[in-house]
């Protein structure tokens, strides 16, 4: 049937069929052969542009991170220097252990030393792991040794606050009571 139709067709229609076939083949050839490569090329170009952008951003981020690292290192040195002014858990224990000998060195006797109840659950002063521990201290001795003791305590290397000092004369000696507040820096902000 097709052979008959082809034989009876005019040259114009044959040419038209051939042209259509050529056009169709051209479109398909483009779709099958060229279009995938064009798409791949476009994708590769987009990827290249993204890579370029990524590299630039990466370099900026890297530089920023390095700057932050240097800043953190500097801050760390400063913080460490400051941390020495605060008690750690160990130095706080040592302080309370050595407190009697400090008192004895100054010629006074500790009659009472107890943590204030609130200090059992020490208040965190900041969110950065600085806790305030308070203790009530009572000593008995002469006036000048008590003054020296107060002086030594207030000049302590770590931060130590003395408050609510009261004196009471008992015969030839003086009883002195006070509240000691020490600031303990717990490592890593943990209690």
Partner 1 sequence: MNNKLALGINIGSDQITLAMLKKTRKGITLVKAASSPTSESVISAGNIKNPAQLARMIKDLCSKHKLNTSNVILSLVARPSLLRVTDMPRDVGGNVKQFVKDELKHYAPFAGKTVGHDFAILKNAKANRLLLGAADEDKIAGIVKACNRIGVIIRGIEPASLAAVRAIYAKHIAKKFDSNILVAHVQDNSLTCFVFRDGLLDFIKATTISSPVNPDTIQAFTDEIVSVKQYYQLELNQNAKNWEFFITDINSAQNSDAVIKSLQAHLPQNRVYPCLPQNVQADTSMICSNMSADPAAAGLAMRLFDLGPAELKLNLLPASTDDAHNLQKFGLVMANVAAAAFLAVLFAVPVLKSKLQIVQDATAKQLKASDLPPMEKLLTTQNQHTSRAKYLKDQLTVLTSLSMAQLEIDYAQILREVQHRIPRNVQITKMTTQPENFTMTLSGLAATYEEVNMFTKLMARSPVARSASLIKTEVDPTGTGLLSYNMLINLAPMENDPNAR
Pair of tokens at residue 14: 């044959």
183 binds partner 1 (CB under 8 A): yes
CA 55 to chain centre: 27
Which residue, 88, 118, 120, 96, is CA-closest to 186? 88
Site for partner 1 in 137-156 (CB under 8 A): 143-144, 146-148, 150-151, 154-155
Residue 68 CB neighbours (<10 A): 10
- Indicate which single residue of 9, 17, 38, 100 sits in contact with partner 1 (rule: CB under 8 A): 38
17 binds partner 1 (CB under 8 A): no
Q: Which whole-number Å values give the CA distances from 56 to 43, 64, 69, 98, in the listed order?
A: 20, 12, 20, 59
CA 72 to chain centre: 10
Residue 175 CA to residue 139 CA, distance in Å, equals 6
> What track of x and - describes contact with partner 1 for positions 98 through 127 (by CB under 8 A)?
---------------------------xxx
- Indicate which single residue of 112, 168, 187, 191 sits in contact with partner 1 (rule: CB under 8 A): 168
13 binds partner 1 (CB under 8 A): no
Residue 159, H or E segment? none
Give me the numbers of helices (H) and strands (E) for the chain, helices first please.
6, 5
47 binds partner 1 (CB under 8 A): yes
3-state secondary structure of 124: strand
185 binds partner 1 (CB under 8 A): yes
Q: Which is nearer to partner 1, 68 or 123 (CB)?
A: 68
Which residues here bind partner 1, judged by CB under 8 A?
11-12, 15, 18-19, 22, 25-26, 29-30, 33-34, 37-38, 40-41, 44-45, 47-48, 51-52, 54-55, 57-59, 61-62, 64-65, 68-69, 71-72, 75-76, 78-79, 82-83, 85-86, 125-128, 130, 143-144, 146-148, 150-151, 154-155, 159, 161-169, 178, 183, 185
């Amino acid at each position: 049937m097709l052979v008959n139709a082809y034989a009876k067709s005019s040259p114009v229609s044959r040419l038209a069929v051939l042209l259509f076939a050529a056009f169709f083949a051209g479109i398909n050839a483009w779709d099958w052969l060229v279009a995938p490569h064009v798409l791949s090329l476009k994708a590769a170009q987009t990827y290249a542009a993204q890579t370029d952008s990524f590299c630039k951003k990466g370099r900026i981020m890297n530089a920023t991170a390095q700057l932050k690292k240097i800043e953190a290192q500097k801050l760390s040195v400063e913080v460490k220097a400051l941390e020495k002014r605060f008690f750690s858990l160990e130095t706080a224990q040592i302080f309370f252990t050595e407190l009697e000998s400090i008192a004895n060195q100054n010629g006074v006797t500790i009659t009472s030393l107890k943590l204030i109840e609130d200090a059992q659950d020490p208040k965190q002063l900041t969110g950065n792991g600085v806790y305030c521990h308070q203790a009530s201290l009572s000593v008995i001795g002469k006036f000048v040794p008590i003054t020296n003791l107060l002086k030594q305590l207030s000049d302590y290397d770590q931060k130590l606050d003395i408050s609510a000092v009261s004196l009471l004369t008992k015969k030839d000696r003086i009883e002195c009571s006070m509240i000691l507040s020490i600031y303990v820096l717990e490592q890593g902000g943990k209690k």
